[in-house]
Amino acid sequence: MALINAEPYSLDLDPLRAALIIIDMQRDFLEPGGFGAALGNDVSLLRWTIAPCRQLLAQARMAGLTVIHTREGHRPDLADLPPTKKACGRLPVALGDAGPMGRILVRSGDGHDIIPELYPMPGEPIIDKPGKGAFHATDLDALLKNRGIAQLIVCGVTTEVCVHTTVREANDRGYECVVAADCAGSYFPEFHEIGLRMIAAQGGIFGWIAPSADIIPALAEPGRSGGCR
Ligand code: TIU
C-alpha cells in the first residue's frame, strides 16, 4: 500500500488491486473533424491532457498495473444508438454521418480510434461503450471483478461528461476512484475545475482527485515487480 496525497484526504492505493482507466482519448474528441468538433467545440482545448496522460500511462505500464482503455461509439448499424442521442444538438452533421475521419462516433471509423500518443498495447483491454459511462452496457465490471480490481485511477475526456459519469457509476459499484486532475480535460475549462471539485467535495462524495505527480510515486511501490497483469 502507498499513500496518495489526494483531496479530500490521502488515499491508500494498493497497486495490486488498482487499474488505470483511460476514458475516450479518441481522435473523435481530440482531433479536428470528429464528434467533439461537430458539437461546436474547440478540440485544441483537450490536447494539454495528452502529455501528462502519456507519462501516467508509461508509469502504470512500468509498474505492471492493469491498464484499460475506453472508446465511446456505436455499432455501424446504429442499433445501439438511442434516437435521443442522435437528435442531441440538432447538428448539421450528426452522429453516424460521414465525416472527414469516417462516420462520426461509429466503431471502426478512424475518428473512433484512440489517438496515436496513447495507443493501447497488445493485451490491454479496450472497452467499447455506447454511453457516457464505461459501465453502462459493457463488461467492464466483470473484467475488473475477475482481476480483483477495487481501485481505479481515472483519466481522459471529458471531465464533466464521460469521466464524471464513469466515476459516479464506479463509486456506486463500490470502487474507489482517484481522478488524475491534470490528465483529464474539458472543452470548458471552468467545467473541468468544477467537475473535479464536485468529485472531492462533501468528504469525497464520488472519489478523490490528485495531480498525476502525486499518483505516480504510489504506483512504484517498493518490492513490486513489473510486467502486465
Ligand atoms: N461532449 C463531451 O463533452 N463529451 C462526450 O460527448 N463524450 C465524452 O466525454 N467522452
184-211: pLDDT as tens digits:
999 999 999 999 999 999 999 999 999 9
Residues lining ligand 1, CB < 6 A? Answer: 24, 29, 39, 72, 132, 157-158, 161-162, 187
pLDDT at 221: 62
- ω into residue 159 within 30 of 0, thus cis? no
Three-class DSSP category at 94: coil
Asked about 162 being catalytic, the answer comes back as yes
Q: Which of 39, 53, 84, 85 to mutate to test the pocket of ligand 1 (most atoms within 8 A of CB)?
A: 39
pLDDT tens digits, one per residue of 54-81: 999 999 999 999 999 999 999 999 999 9
In the chain, domain spans: 12-70+109-219
Three-class DSSP category at 66: strand
pLDDT at 88: 87
pLDDT at 92: 84
* CATH number belonging to domain 12-70+109-219: 3.40.50.850
pLDDT at 91: 84
- Within 13 Å, how many C-alpha atoms sit on residue 67's CB side? 24
Q: Is the pTM of this model over 0.85?
A: yes
Q: Rounded to 5 degrees, what are φ and ψ at 208? A: -120, 160
pLDDT band at 1 (very low <50, low <70, confident <90, very high): confident
Distances (CA, A) of 67 to 47, 89, 121, 204: 21, 33, 9, 24
